[in-house]
Amino acid sequence: MVKVAIINIGDELLIGQVVNTNAAEMAKMLNAAGFDVVLTQTIGDDGETIRKFVVESLAYNDVVLVTGGLGPTKDDITKKVLAEIFDSELVENVEVREHIKKMFAQRGYAFTPTNQEQALVPKKCRVIFNAVGTAPGMCFEKEGKLLFSLPGVPFEMRTMMKEVIRIMEDHFETEVIEHRTLMFAGIGESFLSDMLEDFEATLPAYMKLAYLPQPGMLRLRLTAKGTSKKLILSEIENRKEALRHLAQDYFIGYEMNSLAEAVGEKLVEVQKTMATAESCTGGNIAHQITLIPGSSRYFKGTVVSYANEVKQQVLGVNVCDLEKYGAVSEQVAKQMAQGVRQLLQVDYAVATTGIAGPDGGTEEKPVGTVWIAFADVNGCHAEKYCYASTRESFIDRVSNYALLMLLKKISAAR
């Protein structure tokens, strides 16, 4: 087992202004290649702290991956610290300098002394080429262990990780590691856990089951590690099938990251189209659907009807119903779904109308109240939920409820 530690450097991560997405993304790539990430750490832009954690992590692990602190600005100091740790002077790298110059020329920018400093690298390191940015990556080797330093900009890090993994694969012999993920929806974590008690108790020592709850859905991940690829593969496939059968009623799909992906697969399979009419979700369902590559095959569009006039004039919601029942009502939700279905000429439509908060609630309809409607050629169906939370998590959860309703209705319609 090759043990990997990740160190993400940046004061902005420690005061919480920026969420650290790099750790997760790097871990995912390393894991897929059979390396074990055992620790991720976030520390500040401080020379002494960087030195302490890099040296300690190298002592306990086989590979240390550092991100951040390579930019051209004054608060970026990682490169100097690493040059000290590995006792190596900074020298200009001609290839890196020419690459930076070229990138600046393409963008029509001048090449300033601040940028010139980015072409300096420690003499002892192997340069990891940064095709999409100006800060070069670095790889150091010491007593059979590897240390990598990459920029903190996610897009640059992502591109360079491929080269990092190639170097690691050349350097180490890796164990076989397999993951299988199953998505479930419509059941709470503790209930699923009770259903799977016997299954979990009889798992062999080299397999692990993890619960990954998200708003409105839940993924289970099976992991198997070992030296025999054949055994690992056959065992994990068997257990995966067993798991599915134990909770078949709530099963959505394998290796899926979102309900939007599940909806997309189903629509491609049945060759139907869809649209959304969104009030409280404000376009987030459409956004989730269009994050999936190829969604133009089944998704035709959306009307975000935030204002009541838009509900009336574009979606054709009855003005008397709007006044009588209010915008957050079964009647309006259904008319929105039917309206967008007709307007965009699709097979299936979902609509949402609710109170995301923090203001706008009443005693009868408190913040968190939402109606979700589905329309197809056979008619219309609506459900009411109440989920008081932050604005953002309300929008996320309602979007997932709507996608789940869509998925179930499409599956039932076949």
Tokens of 297: 């095959």
SS3 label, residue 175: coil
- Using alpha carbons, select from 400, 414, 67 the residue that is nearest to residue 266: 414
Q: Name beta bridge partners: 204.
A: none
Shortest Cβ distance from residue 113 to its own copies (Å)? 8
Residue 343 CA, chain-centre distance (Å), reads: 33
End-to-end, the C-alpha distance of the chain in Å comes to 47
When asked if residue 211 is in the footprint of its own copies (CB under 8 A), the reply is yes
Stretch that binds its own copies, among 27-35, 82-90, 120-128, 141-149 (CB under 8 A): 27-35
Rank residues 285 and 405 by Cβ distance to its own copies and give the closer one: 285
Q: d(Cα 131, Cα 151) in Å, to the nearest integer?
A: 12
Would you call the peptide bond into 358 cis, given omega within 30 degrees of 0 as the criterion? Answer: yes
The one-character DSSP state at 129 is P
Shortest Cβ distance from residue 124 to its own copies (Å)? 26
Residues numbered 175 to 194 that lie near its own copies (CB under 8 A) are 179, 181, 188-191, 193-194
When asked if residue 174 is in the footprint of its own copies (CB under 8 A), the reply is no
Give the dihedral sign, CA 149/34/30/131. positive
Binding-residue pattern over the window 225 to 264 for its own copies, x denoting contact by CB under 8 A? ----------------------------------------
SS3 label, residue 145: strand
Long-range contacts of range 230-239, CB-CB < 8 Å, 24 or more positions apart? 232/176, 232/177, 232/178, 232/206, 233/178, 235/204, 235/207, 236/178, 236/180, 236/207, 237/180, 239/180, 239/199, 239/203, 239/207
Rank residues 129 and 191 by Cβ distance to its own copies and give the closer one: 191
Rank residues 334 and 397 by Cβ distance to its own copies and give the closer one: 397
Contact 195, 245 (CB under 8 A): no
SS3 label, residue 40: strand
CA 357, 363, 368 angle in degrees (round to 5)? 30
Residues numbered 352 to 411 that lie near its own copies (CB under 8 A) are 356-359, 389-393, 395
Using the rule CB under 8 A, which residue among 79, 99, 180, 219 binds its own copies?
219
Q: The tokens 């100091």 sit on which residue? A: 77
Rank residues 124 and 154 by Cβ distance to its own copies and give the closer one: 154
Using the rule CB under 8 A, which residue among 174, 228, 238, 345 binds its own copies?
345
Question: What's the chain's length in residues?
Answer: 414
Rank residues 71 and 126 by Cβ distance to its own copies and give the closer one: 71
SS3 label, residue 365: coil
Shortest Cβ distance from residue 131 to its own copies (Å)? 12
Rank residues 109 and 129 by Cβ distance to its own copies and give the closer one: 109
Binding-residue pattern over the window 265 to 304 for its own copies, x denoting contact by CB under 8 A? -----------x-x--xxxxxxx-xxx-xxxx--xxxxxx
Shortest Cβ distance from residue 94 to its own copies (Å)? 20
Using the rule CB under 8 A, which residue among 3, 25, 270, 361 binds its own copies?
25
Rank residues 88 and 314 by Cβ distance to its own copies and give the closer one: 314
Residues numbered 67 to 96 that lie near its own copies (CB under 8 A) are 71-75
Stretch that binds its own copies, among 36-44, 136-144, 160-168, 404-412 (CB under 8 A): 36-44
Shortest Cβ distance from residue 258 to its own copies (Å)? 12
Shortest Cβ distance from residue 253 to its own copies (Å)? 15
Binding-residue pattern over the window 303 to 342 for its own copies, x denoting contact by CB under 8 A? xxxxx-xx---x----------------------------
When asked if residue 97 is in the footprint of its own copies (CB under 8 A), the reply is no
Torsions phi, psi of 348, nearest 5? Answer: -125, 145
Stretch that binds its own copies, among 85-93, 219-227, 263-271, 318-326 (CB under 8 A): 219-227
Q: Name beta bridge partners: 67.
A: 8, 150
Q: Name beta bridge partners: 219.
A: 183, 212
Residues numbered 133 to 172 that lie near its own copies (CB under 8 A) are 134, 153-155, 158
